[in-house]
Amino acid sequence: MPQEVSIMVEGGKATAGPPLGPALGPLGINLGLVVKEINEKTKAFSGMQVPVKVIVDPETKKFEIVVGKPPVSALLKKEVGVETATGAVKTKVTGNLKLDQIKKIAETKIDNMNAASLKAAVMEVLGTCVSLGITVDQKDPREIQKLIKEGSIKI
C-alpha cells in the first residue's frame, strides 16, 4: 500500500535534511533521486515555499512526486518582487499590483480554493492583499472588493 509524505520545500532547494530526510528515510528509497526530482520540478518556484507530496510504494521502492501550487501569499510577494511583506500593513505599503495580476493569481489558484467562481477567487486574493499590505491599482484592496460587489468592476 503506497505511503504519502507531504512537505513544504523552497522551490529548487530541497535537501536530504529535514523535513524531507527524516520523513522519507525510513521508507528506504534513494533520497538523492527524490531530492533531485523535487528540485527539478520546483525550480520555477524559486524563492517560494511549495507544497510537495511524495507517494512511495514501500515494496518496489518506486516513488511519484506531486508538486502543488505555492500559497497565494507567496504568489503575491513574487508578483510584487519582495521576499517579505511589511509588518505594519496599516502604515506601510508592501507594493502595488494591477487588478489583472490579481486575476491571474486567482486563476492559478482557483482549483485549490473554496471559491465557487473566478469573482469569488479574486475576492479571496484581494483579502490576502489586505493582510500583506499590498495595494491594487494604487487603492486599498477593500475598496476594489467593494467596487466588485457593487458591480462597478466586472470580473
Structure confidence at residue 122 (pLDDT): 96
Between 77 and 19, where is the model more confident?
77
CB contact burial 1-27 (16+ within 10 A = b; e otherwise)? eeeebebebebbebeeeeebeeebeeb
State the fold for domain 3-67: Ribosomal protein L11, N-terminal domain (3.30.1550)
Residue ranges, comma separated, of all CATH 1.10.10.250 domains in the chain are 72-150
Structure confidence at residue 92 (pLDDT): 85
Residue ranges, comma separated, of all CATH 3.30.1550.10 domains in the chain are 3-67
The pTM of the whole model exceeds 0.95: no
CB contact burial 135-148 (16+ within 10 A = b; e otherwise)? bbbeeebeebbeeb
CATH class (in words) of the domain with range 72-150: mainly alpha
What angle (nearest 5°) sits at the alpha carbon of residue 57, between those of residues 55 and 22? Answer: 60
